[in-house]
Structure 1
Amino acid sequence: MGKLSKVLGVAGVAAGATYLSKSENREKLKKQLNKGLNKFNKTDVKSWGKPSDVEDAEMVSEGAMTSVQYYNKLQGKSQGE
């Protein structure tokens, strides 16, 4: 399997080099990369994975505490408290 992946890698590099040998293809690629980078820069990376609504965030935290309290209560019962 190692030889096949090397051959495919070399073929991919050769195909990419052939494609990028034309200046119009290089310009297309540059435009696409810039477009993608601009979209990425416009998004707020710090907000990824966080609820955007404060009420939702509070609900999640309350739910998390409820499950922790329930778990602790069950642990207390199993230990004879």
Structure 2
Amino acid sequence: MQKSGGLGYLLVGASAAAWWLSKDENRSKFDGWMTKAKQKFNGETTPSDDAFPIHKAGNPHPEDIADNKMVNEGAQYAVNYYNKKEQ
């Protein structure tokens, strides 16, 4: 009588998963899947399009000091990086 191959199948599956997760692209896909599954399990909903800050991109409100400061610092970083590369 032969033993069931349950442990062997488990090892083969774990090896295949480890091989598949060895690529960065696959790990990011898996992370996204797990995040979505966790949100569904916890009953969280996906935010509407209005909640995404991308709608403000490139057009910060003049009175939004924090956003204007962030945009300004981002521009300084790029200029400093370019200047260091040129020198």
Q: If the TM-score is normalised by the length of the shorter chain, which range does it land in?
A: 0.3 to 0.5
Structure (1 or 2) with the greater helix fraction: 1
Rg larger for: 1
Length-normalised TM-score, structure 2: 0.43
